[in-house]
Chain A
């Protein structure tokens, strides 16, 4: 679900780079602070980063006969907050642009904005909204990962529509076209990502409760 190399006009590419760069700087600064304050959280960060690496390498088949991959951003965004996953998302996108011809450097800013930045803030926001609504913890985690995944492709569709307005339908017409490409593909994948994230969260909360609660006290168990 990344925008391919060269598929954004130079002006748009530049603007998205400019929009993402401050977030990356902020993310690095906040994350290094978190690690300094909680040195024992490094292994957990490795787990969340590893999760994002695996998930974004899994190109899963979807109902409409095309393939796309989940993002894996939700888990870390819920545990660590957005800064950690902005940095991790950057690492994943850089790796894929440099070695896999997946995404690209001209579109790195835009892809970062949709996946690493919007994706982690959506996941983080949905999780805390879910807790406010007194949803069971696992349900809140599920919706956080689900919405982060889905939100990423919605932002991607907006980015593409802004760059390529439809001659008849204008911006909204173009956005609907891009959404229809991603929507059917991404919906089942977002469900998968939601389920998997709950599964991994269950294990981490069971085996490393102190580390998790220190980073996000809202992850205190209510299930069982």
Chain B
């Protein structure tokens, strides 16, 4: 990994950790709920008469939701990892001797 890539990764991790630390002692029960729900509440405050006229066709119950979210992430990461791994292996075999893991 190049220095730049390490710095980028560190920045992404920091951006995820800082919010958690900021709210470390929070007693807020709605902490880290989805922004989508908050938009829904804003709709209700602007137009209290609005009737939601459709429900999700399928709402995964309990742990099923985390399974399906994990599945989505797994499909995506699998595809991305396979492609980068393939290209890296090919790059290595075309440029033998060069250390491909480092930015030579």
Residues of A within 8 A of B (CB): 1-7, 9-10, 43-44, 46-47, 49-63, 65-68, 95-102, 104-106, 138, 156, 160, 164-167, 174, 177-178, 181-182, 185-186, 188-189, 191-192, 195-196, 198-200, 202-204, 206-208, 211, 223-224
Closest Cβ–Cβ distance, residue B53 to chain A (whole Å): 5
Q: Which chain A residues border B100 with CB–CB below 8 Å?
A: 206-207
Q: Is the CB of A100 within 8 A of B65?
A: yes
For B39-70 the 0/1 string (1 means CB < 8 A from A) is 11011001100101111111110000100111
Q: Is the CB of B35 within 8 A of A3?
A: no
Work out how many contacts link A and B, with CB atoms closer than 8 A.
Answer: 201
Could you say which of B46, B68, B91 contacts A166, with CB atoms under 8 Å apart?
A: B46
Q: Which chain B residues border A182 with CB–CB below 8 Å?
A: 35, 39
Could you say which of A62, A156, A195 contacts B8, with CB atoms under 8 Å apart?
A: A195
Give A69 to B86 CA distance when docked, in angstroms. Answer: 28
Q: For chain B, give the interface size range.
A: 35 or more
For B1-14 the 0/1 string (1 means CB < 8 A from A) is 01011001101100
Q: Is the CB of A177 within 8 A of B38?
A: no
Query: Given known contacts A50-B79, A105-B54, is B72 in contact with A57 (CB within 8 Å)?
Result: yes
B96 within 8 A of A: no
Closest Cβ–Cβ distance, residue B48 to chain A (whole Å): 10
Most buried by A among B4, B5, B33, B87: B87
Residues of B within 8 A of A (CB): 2, 4-5, 8-9, 11-12, 15-16, 18-20, 22-23, 26, 28, 30-40, 42-43, 46-47, 50, 52-60, 65, 68-70, 72-73, 75-84, 86-88, 90-91, 100, 103
Give A200 to B81 CA distance when docked, in angstroms. Answer: 10
Q: Which chain A residues border B32 with CB–CB below 8 Å?
A: 61, 65-67
Q: Is the CB of B60 within 8 A of A99?
A: yes
Query: Given known contacts A7-B40, A160-B39, A191-B15, is B34 in contact with A100 (CB within 8 Å)?
Result: no
Q: Which chain B residues border A56 with CB–CB below 8 Å?
A: 72
Q: Which chain B residues border A55 with CB–CB below 8 Å?
A: 76
Query: Given known contacts A99-B60, A167-B46, is B69 in contact with A1 (CB within 8 Å)?
Result: no
Q: Which chain B residues border A192 with CB–CB below 8 Å?
A: 11-12, 15-16
Q: Is the CB of A196 within 8 A of B34?
A: no
Q: Which chain B residues border A61 with CB–CB below 8 Å?
A: 16, 19-20, 23, 32
Q: Which chain B residues border A68 with CB–CB below 8 Å?
A: 34-36
Q: Which chain B residues border A199 with CB–CB below 8 Å?
A: 5, 8-9, 12
Could you say which of B39, B58, B78 contacts A99, with CB atoms under 8 Å apart?
A: B58
Q: Which chain A residues border B60 with CB–CB below 8 Å?
A: 99-101
Q: Which chain A residues border B57 with CB–CB below 8 Å?
A: 97-98, 105
Q: Is the CB of B83 within 8 A of A188?
A: no
Most buried by B among A67, A97, A178: A67
Query: Given known contacts A7-B40, A50-B76, A196-B8, is B69 in contact with A67 (CB within 8 Å)?
Result: no
Nearest-neighbor residue (CB-CB) of A60 within chain B: B16
Query: Given known contacts A66-B35, A198-B8, A206-B91, is B80 in contact with A51 (CB within 8 Å)?
Result: yes
